[in-house]
Structure formats: C-alpha cells, structure tokens
Amino acid sequence: MYVGEGEALLRNTFRKARLAAPSIIFFDEADVVAAKRGGGSSGSSTVGERLLTTMLTEMDGLEQAKGILVLAATNRPHAIDAALMRPGRFDIILYVPPPDLEGRHEILGVHTRKMKIGNDVDLREIAEKH
C-alpha cells in the first residue's frame, strides 16, 4: 500500500455510503483504523494517525448525510482513540461477552450441523474445555 492509499480508501468508503444512503459502514477490528494517537514515532503509527484523522473527518461530516450508520467491532476497546467515543460519533458501546457453556455448545452445534461427526465426538465435552 502506498502513502495515502489507506486514507483514500476510507474516504471512498464514506463517499459510496453517502451515495447509497441509507447504508451501513461496518469496521471489523476497528482498533486498527482507530488506534489511539501518540503511540510512538514509527512509520506505522503515523499511518494509523492519518487513518484516524480521516475517519474522524468523515464521521463529522455524517451529520449532513442522513441515513448512514457506522458500526465497529473490536476485541481491544482500550486501543480505540477517545475522540471516536464523543457524542455524534460512536454514541453507544455494546459489550458482547464471550459465550458461556450453553452458548459454546450451541455454536458448535450450528457449525457441525451439516458435518458427519464420529460417535466418539462429544460437543458438550468440547464446549466445556473452554
């Protein structure tokens, strides 16, 4: 990726969302795009800061663009820059805890439903080994 290419892709994503509104933009592993600023002077942190700045700028412009919802997921919420948590950006934080025993058992059931499983495979036992 070339310098500025990530920022251009981000701007283009928001542009497409505005053109297609109503739309949803979903960022998985959002801590990569929205990492806290000031983490060091390496080239990668500079790229991260530019991506964050672009994202903040684009999200601030969404007030005029009706019908766009921005969602993000991360397993490292502590790594997200605080500026994204201000009102008008990511207003709601929803914590989804890891599944409990029953949840793990159901997940295994869903993913193995169409599989032939040996008689010696006990999904409950596998779920318990979390």
pLDDT at position 37: 81
Cα–Cα distance measured from residue 90 to residue 25, given in angstroms and rounded to the nearest whole number: 12
Instruction: Give the separation between CA 87 and CA 60, rounded to whole angstroms.
Output: 10
Q: What is the pLDDT of residue 86?
A: 83
CA dist 123 and 107 (Å) reads: 10
Which pLDDT belongs to residue 120? 95
Can you identify the CATH homologous superfamily of domain 5-85? P-loop containing nucleotide triphosphate hydrolases (3.40.50.300)
Distance between CA atoms of residues 62 and 64, nearest Å: 5
Dihedral angle sign, alpha carbons of residues 54, 76, 85, 62: positive
C-alpha closest to that of 88 among 63, 66, 68: 63
Q: What is the pLDDT of residues 74-94, one digit of tens each?
A: 999 888 998 888 887 888 889
Say if residue 22 is preceded by a cis peptide, omega within 30 of 0. yes
Q: Which residues of the chain have pLDDT under 50?
A: none
Would you say 71 and 26 are in contact if contact means Cβ atoms under 8 Å apart?
yes
pLDDT, residue 108, reads 96
Q: Which ranges in 1-130 belong to alpha helices (H)?
A: 5-20, 43-60, 101-112, 123-128
- Write down the domain spans for the chain: 5-85, 98-130
